[in-house]
Amino acid sequence: MTQLSDRVLNMATSATLAMAAKARELKAEGKDIIGLSLGEPDFNTPDFIKEAAIQAINENYNAYTPVDGYVELKDAIITKFKRDNQLSYERSQIVVSTGAKQALANIAAVILNEGDEVILPCPYWVSYSDIVKLNEGVPVEVKTSIDNDFKLTPQQLEAAITPKTKMIWYSSPCNPSGSVYSKEELRALADVLQNYPDIVVVSDEIYEHINFIGTHVSMAQFEDMYDRTVTVNGVSKAFAMTGWRIGYIGAPEKIARACNKMQGQVTSGANCIAQRAVITALNESPSRVQFMIDEFKQRRELILGLLNDIEGFKTNSPEGAFYVFPDISHYFGKTLKGYTIENATDFSLFLLEEAHVATVTGIAFGNPNCIRISYAASQEQIMEAIRRIKQAVS
Instruction: By CB under 6 A, name the binding residues for ligand PMP.
Output: 39, 99-101, 125, 171, 175, 204, 206, 234, 236, 242, 247
Instruction: CB nearer to ligand GLU: give 40 or 205.
Output: 40
Do the beta carbons of residue 327 and residue 369 sit within 8 Å?
yes
Instruction: CB nearer to ligand PMP: give 37 or 236.
Output: 236
Do the beta carbons of residue 90 and residue 106 sit within 8 Å?
no
Partner touching 128 among ligand GLU, ligand PMP, none, CB below 5 to 8 Å by kind: none
In angstroms, give the least distance from the CB of 222 to ligand GLU. Answer: 27
Q: Using the rule CB under 6 A, is 96 a contact of ligand GLU?
A: no
Among the listed ranges 38-46, 142-150, 286-294, 338-346, the one in contact with ligand GLU (CB under 6 A) is: 38-46
Q: Using the rule CB under 6 A, is 241 a contact of ligand GLU?
A: no
CB-hemisphere CA count at 13 Å for 162?
Answer: 10
Do the beta carbons of residue 357 and residue 389 sit within 8 Å?
yes
Closest CA to 222 of 83, 120, 87: 87
Q: Which residues contact 234 (CB under 8 A, 6 or more apart)?
A: 99, 100, 103, 206, 246, 247, 248
> Which phi-psi region, left, alpha or beta, contains residue 233 (left: φ > 0; alpha: ψ -120 to 50)?
beta
Q: Using the rule CB under 6 A, is 348 a contact of ligand GLU?
A: no
3-state secondary structure of 125: coil
In angstroms, give the least distance from the CB of 373 to ligand GLU. Answer: 11
Q: Which of 52, 103, 109, 126 binds ligand GLU (CB under 6 A)?
A: 126
Q: Which of 23, 34, 36, 38 binds ligand GLU (CB under 6 A)?
A: 38
In angstroms, give the least distance from the CB of 337 to ligand GLU. Answer: 27
Instruction: CB nearer to ligand GLU: give 175 or 177.
Output: 175
DSSP 194-246: TT-TT-EEEEE-TTTT-BSSS----GGGSHHHHTTEEEEEESTTTTT-GGG--
Restricting to residues 172-231, name those near ligand GLU by CB under 6 A. 175
Partner touching 17 among ligand GLU, ligand PMP, none, CB below 5 to 8 Å by kind: ligand GLU
- For the CA atoms of 329, 335, 336, 340, the dihedral, rounded to the nearest 10 degrees, stands at 80
Between CA 255 and CA 235 the distance in angstroms is: 21
Q: Using the rule CB under 6 A, is 14 a contact of ligand GLU?
A: yes
Q: Using the rule CB under 6 A, is 320 a contact of ligand GLU?
A: no
Q: Using the rule CB under 6 A, is 21 a contact of ligand GLU?
A: no
In angstroms, give the least distance from the CB of 50 to ligand GLU. Answer: 21
> Which phi-psi region, left, alpha or beta, contains residue 284 (left: φ > 0; alpha: ψ -120 to 50)?
beta
Of all residues in the shown chain, the one whose CB is closest to ligand GLU is 39
Among the listed ranges 13-21, 64-72, 219-227, 346-354, the one in contact with ligand GLU (CB under 6 A) is: 13-21
Partner touching 247 among ligand PMP, ligand GLU, none, CB below 5 to 8 Å by kind: ligand PMP
Do the beta carbons of residue 149 and residue 172 sit within 8 Å?
no
Q: Which residues contact 181 (CB under 8 A, 6 or more apart)?
A: 151, 170, 172, 189, 217
In angstroms, give the least distance from the CB of 309 to ligand PMP. Answer: 28
3-state secondary structure of 30: coil
Interface ranges with ligand GLU (CB under 6 A): 14, 16-17, 38-40, 101, 126-127, 175
